[in-house]
Amino acid sequence: MTGQEQALLAARPDFVAIAHWVTPGARVLDLGCGDGSLLRYLWQAREAPGYGVEIDDDSVIACVANDVNVLQVDLESGLSLFADASFDCVILSQTLQAVHHTEGILREMVRVGREAIVSFPNFGHWNARMQVALGRMPVSASLPYEWYETPNVHHCTISDFEDLCRRLDIRIRERLVLHEGKPVTLLPNFLGSLAVYRCTAG
């Protein structure tokens, strides 16, 4: 692993968890793929070919430069480009909280993918709770934005997400909760700052 990759994985511990759940050679769709780092990583680690969906111009150009297939369409208008079950795995990594049509995206993910992997910063982490209790919007490593500049619109906790999955008839197959890159098993909704889920249609 190069120094660059190590730095990437330190910054995005969910990538390791995601890669662990992606079977070698799987067809992957990464929603809100940024500069394509995850797709590049999955290609190197799993030989999993994929496409990214991204709306931001600079990120899309970065994907092209990174030799990652990218489709510049708006996630919010759905995944009409993609046929049912056309991917082995659809990934939404740390993008859920920035999506307006949360339910629509989750439904689309389990339509297009045989599996969906979702990761998000856990708003139920004790640090966030404490900051709110002290009368402030939380700012932390996993929630790095001030309230006035955040792209995030729909924060949720681990419990909130699991409730929504139940309501949408989305089945959670596996869950991994992390803090500072390490798994958290005790009181995950309190001690975990990052949650990663593997889901399928119910």
Cβ count near 37 (within 10 Å): 23
d(CA 141, CA 139): 7
**Cβ atoms of residues 81 and 61 within 8 Å:** no
Please identify, using beta-carbon distances, which residue of 87 and 161 lies nearer to another protein.
87
- Binding test (CB under 8 A) with another protein, winner from 8, 16, 19, 61: 61
Residue 101 sits at the vertex; the CA angle it makes with 98 and 105, to the nearest 5 degrees, is: 90
d(CA 104, CA 92): 13
Please identify, using beta-carbon distances, which residue of 36 and 121 lies nearer to another protein.
36
- Binding test (CB under 8 A) with another protein, winner from 9, 31, 48, 70: 70
Site string for another protein, 6-35 (x = CB under 8 A): ---------------------x--------
- Binding test (CB under 8 A) with another protein, winner from 64, 85, 153, 187: 64
d(CA 176, CA 9): 16
Please identify, using beta-carbon distances, which residue of 59 and 131 lies nearer to another protein.
59
Q: What DSSP string describes 146-200? A: -TTT--------HHHHHHHHHHTTEEEEEEEEEETTEE--SSHHHH-SEEEEEEE
Q: Which three-class secondary structure string do you get for 11-29?
A: HCCHHHHHHHHCCCCCCEE
- Binding test (CB under 8 A) with another protein, winner from 8, 16, 71, 172: 71
Distance of closest approach, residue 109 Cβ to another protein, in angstroms: 16
Of residues 86 through 145, those in contact with another protein by CB under 8 A are 86
Distance of closest approach, residue 112 Cβ to another protein, in angstroms: 10
- Binding test (CB under 8 A) with another protein, winner from 18, 60, 128, 184: 60
Asked if residue 85 binds another protein (CB under 8 A), the reply is: no
Stretch that binds another protein, among 62-70, 156-164, 180-188, 194-202 (CB under 8 A): 62-70
Q: What DSSP string describes 77-121? A: G--TTS-TT-EEEEEEES-GGG-S-HHHHHHHHHHHEEEEEEEEE
Binding site for another protein (CB under 8 A): 27, 51, 57, 60-61, 63-65, 67, 69-73, 80-83, 86
